[in-house]
Amino acid sequence: MIGRSATVTILLLSLAGLAGCHQPPAPPPVRPPTAGYWFDSFRARRQRLTRPEFLAGAAKVKLTPTRRGVRIAGHGVFRKHSRGVLDDLWGRVLYLDSGPQAVVLVSLDFIGWMYPRTQRIRARVTRRHPHSIIVAATHNHDGPDTEGIWGPGLLGMVPTRSGVDQRYLDRVERRVARAILRAVARARPARLYLGRFPVPEGLAVNLREPEDLPLVATVLRAADARDDSTIGTVINWGNHAEALQDHNRWLSADWPGVMCREVDLALGGVTLFFSAPAGGMIEPANRPDDPEPQRLAFCRHLGGSLAAGAINLAIGGMESCDQPEILLAWQPVRFSLQPGSTIALVFRLGLLEPRPLPAGRLLSEMELIDLGKLQIATVPAELTPAVGRLLEARLTAPYHMLITLGLDHLGYVITHRQWADARFEYERSMSLGPDTVDTLVEGIEGLTTTLRSARR
C-alpha cells in the first residue's frame, strides 16, 4: 500500500506523529443533482415492467489531473512529483440492468478510492439505490494521491499532511457521477458473454510465494442484442499496476491503461479492469532499476499481452449468459484495527479523511452480484491468492470475479498461515490485523446466504 519496508515506514510515521499532523479538511456537502434524481425514477419504471429486456450501457470520463507537479502515489516513503503525462487516467463505467435490479460497475485509474468518497459518488446519483453503484480502483501506482498518505512532510519523505487535493477529488466525484448517468442514458437491449483466457508466463511474479501465481483472467462482455457490437468489457486478473516501477515520474494508467485502450480499439465499447487478488506480492516481472525505455516497453508488452488474450477470446467465442437476472446482496463490515500497525498510525495521524469508527472499528462494505453464471464479489482490501481462494470457495457460479479494492482500500489481507510466515512482514504491518481474513469469510458467507434466500 505505501512501501516495502515496514520497519522504516512505521518508524518514520512515528516521527511524523512527533512533528504533528493536520487533519484534512472535510469535503464540501454533496448537492442534489440539478436535474433531480432521475436515476431513481428510471429504476422505478424498470421495476414495474412485467417482462423487461436486459439492458447495458457504458461510458468513460477523463480524470487526468491538470495541475503540474502532482504527487504520485504508491511507492513507499519516496515523495515524487509528476513531470508530465504519459497517458490519461480514466473512469470507466458499465451499467447492467435486468429490470428488478441493476448494477453500475465503475473502475478508476487510481491507487485506491476510500469508502467515504464512494458514498459521495453514490449520493450524487441516487437516494434509493446506493448499493447498486460499485466503485473500485485499479490500484494504479502512477496516479495522484487519492487517499492522503503521500503528502508533504518530515525530511521530504514521510507525510505530516495529507497529499489529497480536495478540489481535484471533488471534481472526480462530479465527473464520475455524470459518467454513470451517461451510461444509464445510453443503455440498450444487450446480451452477456463470459470466458477465461490464459495469461502468458513471464508477465508477473509472486515475490512471497513464487509458486502461487494465478495465470487465468476472467472476462465479461456486454454486447448489443441487435448486432452483437460490444458495449462494455470487464477484465479481472490479479497483478499490481506498477510496471513503470518506483522511479517513474510520469502520470499514467500503467499497464491496465494500455490493456483497456487496446481492447477498446479492437472490440469497441468501454473496457474496465478490476484487480483480482494480487497481494503478497504479485507484481510485473520487470525490475525497478531497469532504464526508463525498458520499463515503458515492458508496460506496453504486459498491457498488450492481456489485451490480446481478451480480444482473441471475444473473437473466438465466449459462453452466452442467457436471460441473466441480476441479484444483489450487500452488508456493512466492521473490521478490528490492530494497535501499532501502519494503518492505525495513519488514522491516528489524521492523514485520511474522517470516517466512522464505531467502537473503534473500521466500517466498510462488501457486495455480491449474481448474474446466474457469474458471481462478482467486492472486497475492500488487497488479498493474497490464498485468501482469494478461501472466498471463491464460498461462491457457487461457474464463473466468478473478485473485485479487490472494491468500495474501499483497507490494506492487505493474509491467511493465518501467512501471518506466521516471516516473508509476510510487510503485509502484516499493512494489515488491519490477523482476524481480518475471518471477517471477510464471514462477510462472503453472509452474502451468499442472503442471495440463496432471495432466489426462493
pLDDT band, very low/low/confident/very high, at 25 (cuts 50, 70, 90): low
Cell of 4: 516495502
Task: Return the closest-CA partner of residue 383 out of 283, 285, 302, 275.
Answer: 275
Prediction pTM value: 0.94
Question: Which among 246, 236, 238, 237 is positioned nearest to 286, based on CA atoms?
Answer: 246
For residue 232, pLDDT over 90 is answered with: yes
Residue 92 · residue 169 · CB < 8 Å: no
Q: What pLDDT does 23 receive?
A: 61
CB-based contacts of 256: which residues, under 8 Å, 6+ apart?
A: 109, 138, 140, 241, 273, 303
pLDDT for 314-346, tens place per residue? 999 999 998 899 999 999 999 988 777 777 777
Computed over every residue of the chain, the mean pLDDT equals: 91
User: For strand 230-237 and strand 250-251, is the pairing parallel, antiparallel, or unpaired?
Assistant: unpaired
C-alpha cell of residue 330: 450487500
Q: What is the chain's length?
A: 456
What value does the mean pLDDT take over residues 248-254? 95
Q: Which helix (H) or strand (E) holds 454?
A: helix 436-455
Per the CB < 8 A criterion, the answer to whether 241 and 139 are in contact is yes
What is the tens place of the pLDDT at every residue in 33-79?
889 999 999 999 999 999 999 999 999 999 999 887 888 998 765 55
Three-class SS state of 186: coil
Cα(200)–Cα(218) distance, integer angstroms: 14
Amino acid at 440: L
Residue 213 grid coordinates = 501465481
Arithmetic mean of pLDDT, 244-256: 95
Q: In 95-134, which positions are buried (b, 16+ CB within 10 angstroms) versus exposed (e)?
A: bbbbbebbbbbbbbbbbbbbbbbbbbbbbbbbeebeebbb
Per cent of the chain over pLDDT 90 is 76
Chain centre distance of CA 224: 26
Contacts of 223 (CB under 8 A, 6+ apart): 190, 191, 192, 193, 229, 230, 231
Identify the burial level of 235 via C-beta atoms within 10 angstroms of its C-beta, where 0-12 means exposed, 13-18 middle and 19 or more buried: buried
Residue 101 is predicted with a pLDDT of 97
Q: Are 102 and 46 in contact (CB under 8 A)?
A: yes
Single-letter code of the amino acid located at 41:
S
Contact 138, 108 (CB under 8 A): yes
Residue 2: predicted pLDDT: 46
Mean of pLDDT values over 120-132 = 97
Mean pLDDT, residues 2-6 taken together? 46
Helix H or strand E encompassing 117:
helix 115-125
- 402 contacts 276 by C-beta, under 8 angstroms: yes
**pLDDT value, residue 359:** 82
Closest CA to 381 of 238, 189, 208: 238
